[in-house]
Amino acid sequence: MSLSRILRILAKDLRLGPRSPIFLYAIAFPVILTLLVVFVFGSLFAPSPRLGVLDAGNSSITSKIQQVGGITVTMFDSEDELIEQVENDNLDAGLILQKDFDSSLIARERPVLQFYVGGNSLLSNRTILAVTTIDLIREVGGSTGKVDVSIEKLGTEESIPLVDRLLPMLLIYAVIIAGLFVPASSIVAERESGTLSALMVSPVQIPDIMIAKGVMGFILAMLAGIVTLIINQAFGNAPLALVLILTLASAMAVTFGLIFGSLAKDANSLFTAVKGMGIFLFAPVIFFIWPGLPQWIGQLFPTYYFLFPLFEVGVKGATLADVGAELWIGFGITAVFAVIAAMTARRLRSALSST
Amino acid sequence: MSDTRAIDVRGISYSYGNLLAVDDISFSVEPGEILGFLGPNGAGKSTTIKMLTGQVDPKSGSITVLGYDAIKSRAEMQSRIGVCFEEKNLYLNMTAAENLRFFASLFNIADFDPEALLRRVDLVDKSGTHTKGLSKGMRQRLMMARSLVNRPDVLVLDEPTDGLDPVSSRAIRRIIREEADRGAAVILTTHDMEEADKLSDRVAFINEGKIATLDTPENLKLAYGKRSVKVRSRDGDQISEQTVALDGPEAGEELKEAVASPGLMTIHTEEATLENIFIQLTGRGLE
């Protein structure tokens, strides 16, 4: 195995890539699909974060929050009315500031801050409202001022907006097309054109070729995944954690791509194989879209082990620790498929010789 | 093994499932020698080439190329050979120069000059042309150039002139001769007997996975041809034909008489062609 040869093949593939329809498809498809979904279900053009405020005193936080651009603030006199509006999804969140909130905050008396979150609100809107409120409290109370925060979620866990529940579908398309299709179709194209045979009578060895194709798929899958998360406003919540999970997702997709690419004799058999195995790859998506279905079925499929962490962290605000078990299982599955990919790649040499 | 041998093949066999494609064949090639590998389709030529170039390992036997074991030291061996395929397997979206530069980079060749090689194959004016825009003959010449990027000590050519126009065929034959003169050992598969006769120092006839015979074209013609000449002469309106056996006791006198005859039209040797010899040995033609 030679690093310099791997890099030369990779450079060639990246340079020729934009001339390949599959390569362009891998880049453009997730963006187009995302735009289509958010256009139909509306989050890209969704209204700005909506906050209801009931100010029992005359808190400076109220006036400051009204001056913050990009947030629609509605004032309420009744707590019941505020809660009703949050429950009915007319507001993303409701904030109740007690009488003498500011003075209690300055006096370090730990006043109570009540925050109602709408179950149907977008995670990005909730995050913006929560972070903005915390910033304003610090501005008024200084770094030592403390509050007791009471957060109440209105609505049920299942009431995550459909546009958020569709995110796993967008992500799996992005990652699978770039991570699986690009390397697999590149191997098959080289096989069909005979250039793979030409490479194999040079000092290049099969592992050099496989690694170069895999790295190309990995880079594209990471890019496609990050772009999809950004467009869906789910990347800002925990970017480092999401990059780590996308690393797992891309690596898993690439191992599938190398297996499919090594086994497929031509483009037709590659597409037939991917179509046939579609359920194996895409099935977990169903369980995110319809959370009422028995979730354990989703866990039978390997892609669940990166989709679940991506969904939990990107949409529901979980931490890496919360999804650690799934991530470890995912890395284990990827390692097993990597071994299978190495075995099928070795087989590719003898398969080529028989053609 | 003699130290001078560029290629030494001993008792190699290969089968595809139950089909024995190559059956215990042995041969060697010296530096600067051109060995023509002749046989019909399916005779085992391409499988032998695949084993020689490290694309497939023989099921039995050994192959040593430039002192390297072709199985155990495949990468080292491949870094010193050049292979020109029958199938046109170039990167069509790359230019002629890019194709050569890419392959040269895989051989870690610094300061590679694609123009010099393109000039040798008369394609220097197509340097910046995408390969998909080149004719079949031009692509074949480019593949020939590609096989030379590493200045190989062993050159393996699979049907290099098959279906080409005379200009491209001539260019490829010239380069093959130049490479042999430089000292490269050349193995050439073909089913074009005339080409093999013109180019090869020795020819091997391969049929049903076995080498039927291996010798210089001259020796084969002597061994399998008739030692006789055919004399045609005219006497008035009559044309007569006479065969003179060269080994006969009166051969000298008979030939002298024929040459002196005023009606002499033609004298032909009865030398066998390689194709005749192949048919004689294998009972089948080359097509």
d(CA A229, CA A245): 12
Whether B19 and chain A come into contact, CB under 8 Å, resolves to: no
> Which SS3 state, helix, strand or coil, does residue B64 take?
strand
Instruction: Please name the residues in contact with B150: beta carbons below 8 A apart, sequence gap of 6 or more.
Output: B79, B80, B82, B104, B107, B109
Cβ distance A203 to B16 less than 8 Å, yes or no, reads: no
User: Are the CB atoms for B96 and B131 separated by under 8 Å?
Assistant: yes
User: Are the CB atoms for B79 and B152 separated by under 8 Å?
Assistant: no
* Closest listed residue to residue B20, CA positions, set B61, B67, B80, B65: B61
Q: Sort strands B154-158 and B81-84 into parallel, antiparallel or unpaired.
A: parallel
CATH architecture of A50-159: 3-Layer(aba) Sandwich (3.40)
Cβ distance B55 to A352 less than 8 Å, yes or no, reads: yes
- Specify the length of chain A in residues: 355
Best of A7, A201, A346 to substitute, by most chain B Cβ atoms within 10 angstroms, is A201
Q: How wide is the angle at C-alpha B14 spanned by C-alphas B8 and B18, nearest 5°?
A: 165
Cβ distance B146 to A19 less than 8 Å, yes or no, reads: no
Cβ distance A8 to B106 less than 8 Å, yes or no, reads: yes
Q: Cα distance from A38 to chain B (closest Cα, Å)? A: 37
- Could you read off the pLDDT tens digit of each residue along chain A, which spans 355 residues? 888 899 999 999 988 877 777 778 877 887 888 788 777 766 555 667 889 999 888 888 898 888 887 888 999 989 899 898 888 878 889 999 888 888 888 888 888 888 888 877 777 777 788 888 888 888 888 766 677 777 777 765 556 777 788 889 889 988 988 899 999 999 999 998 889 989 989 989 899 999 999 999 999 999 999 988 888 777 777 899 999 999 999 999 999 999 999 998 888 898 888 888 888 888 998 888 888 788 899 899 999 999 999 988 888 888 899 999 999 999 999 999 999 999 998 888 777 766 5
Cβ distance A19 to B90 less than 8 Å, yes or no, reads: no
Maximum pairwise Cα distance, chain B: 74
**Model confidence at B36: pLDDT above 70:** yes
Cβ distance A353 to B50 less than 8 Å, yes or no, reads: yes
Cβ distance B85 to A193 less than 8 Å, yes or no, reads: no
Q: Cα distance from B57 to chain A (closest Cα, Å)? A: 9
Residue in chain B nearest A354 by alpha carbon:
B16
What's the pLDDT at A156? Answer: 56
Residue keyed to tokens 């050439």: B188
Output B255 or B134, whichever has higher pLDDT.
B134
Question: Average pLDDT, whole number, for chain B?
Answer: 87
Which residues sit opposite B206 in a β-bridge?
Answer: B211
Q: Cα distance from A176 to chain B (closest Cα, Å)? A: 26
d(CA B29, CA B8): 7
- Cβ burial of A279 (10 Å; 0-12, 13-18, 19+) is exposed
d(CA A121, CA B45): 71
Name the pLDDT band for B69 (thresholds 50, 70, 90): very high
Chain A residues close to B81, C-beta within 8 Å: 201
- Token pair belonging to B103: 């392959």
Instruction: Please name the residues in contact with B57: beta carbons below 8 A apart, sequence gap of 6 or more.
Output: B51, B71
What's the pLDDT at B237? Answer: 82
Instruction: Sort residue B104 into left (φ over 0), alpha (ψ -120 to 50) or beta.
Output: alpha
Q: Which residue in A195, A205, A352 is closest to B91 by CB distance?
A: A195
Q: How confident is the model over B198-217, as pLDDT tens digits? A: 889 999 989 889 998 899 98
Q: How confident is the model over B250-286, as pLDDT tens digits? A: 888 888 887 888 888 888 877 777 888 888 777 766 6
Chain B residues close to A193, C-beta within 8 Å: 89, 91-92
**Model confidence at B2: pLDDT above 60:** no
Residue in chain A nearest B79 by alpha carbon:
A203
Phi then psi for residue A53, to 5 deg, are -130, 130
Best of B105, B132, B147 to substitute, by most chain A Cβ atoms within 10 angstroms, is B105
CB pairs under 8 A between A and B: 64
Residue in chain B nearest A3 by alpha carbon:
B106
What's the pLDDT at A246? Answer: 94
> Which SS3 state, helix, strand or coil, does residue A104 take?
helix
Cβ distance B106 to A203 less than 8 Å, yes or no, reads: yes
Instruction: Please name the residues in contact with A71: beta carbons below 8 A apart, sequence gap of 6 or more.
Output: A48, A49, A50, A51, A65, A128, A129, A132
**Interface predicted TM-score of the whole assembly (ipTM), two decimals:** 0.81
User: Are the CB atoms for B77 and B66 separated by under 8 Å?
Assistant: yes
* Closest listed residue to residue B32, CA positions, set B14, B13, B58, B6: B6
Instruction: Report the 10 Å Cβ neighbour count for B165.
Output: 14
Residue ranges per structural domain of chain A: 3-41+162-353, 50-159
- Cβ burial of A144 (10 Å; 0-12, 13-18, 19+) is exposed
Which residues sit opposite B197 in a β-bridge?
Answer: none
- Token pair belonging to B275: 């194709």
Which residues sit opposite B187 in a β-bridge?
Answer: B35, B156
Sign of the Cα pseudo-torsion (B264, B269, B275, B277, in order): positive
User: Are the CB atoms for A129 and A93 separated by under 8 Å?
Assistant: yes
What's the pLDDT at B204? Answer: 92
Residue in chain B nearest A347 by alpha carbon:
B56
Name the pLDDT band for B62 (thresholds 50, 70, 90): very high
Chain B residues close to A202, C-beta within 8 Å: 78-79, 103, 106-107
What's the pLDDT at A354? Answer: 61
User: Are the CB atoms for A309 and A326 separated by under 8 Å?
Assistant: yes
d(CA B102, CA B174): 25
> Which SS3 state, helix, strand or coil, does residue A43 take?
coil
Residue A341's alpha-carbon distances to A254, A257, A265, B61, B209, in angstroms, are 9, 9, 16, 30, 34
Cβ distance A16 to B93 less than 8 Å, yes or no, reads: yes
Residue in chain A nearest B88 by alpha carbon:
A194
- Token pair belonging to B138: 């031009």
User: Are the CB atoms for A26 and A224 separated by under 8 Å?
Assistant: yes
- Cβ burial of A252 (10 Å; 0-12, 13-18, 19+) is buried
Q: Cα distance from B76 to chain A (closest Cα, Å)? A: 7
- Token pair belonging to A87: 């429950």
DSSP B204: E
User: Are the CB atoms for B50 and A198 separated by under 8 Å?
Assistant: no
* Closest listed residue to residue A340, CA positions, set A210, A235, A221: A210
Quick one: CA torsion of A122, A125, A129, A131, rounded to 10 degrees? Answer: 100
Sign of the Cα pseudo-torsion (B193, B199, B202, B206, in order): negative
Cβ distance A353 to B56 less than 8 Å, yes or no, reads: yes
Whether B85 and chain A come into contact, CB under 8 Å, resolves to: yes
Which residues sit opposite A94 in a β-bridge?
Answer: A52, A116
Instruction: Please name the residues in contact with A127: beta carbons below 8 A apart, sequence gap of 6 or more.
Output: A236, A237, A317
d(CA A238, CA A226): 12
- Cβ burial of B259 (10 Å; 0-12, 13-18, 19+) is exposed
Chain A residues close to B107, C-beta within 8 Å: 202-203
Q: Sort strands B228-235 and B264-269 into parallel, antiparallel or unpaired.
A: antiparallel
Maximum pairwise Cα distance, chain A: 84
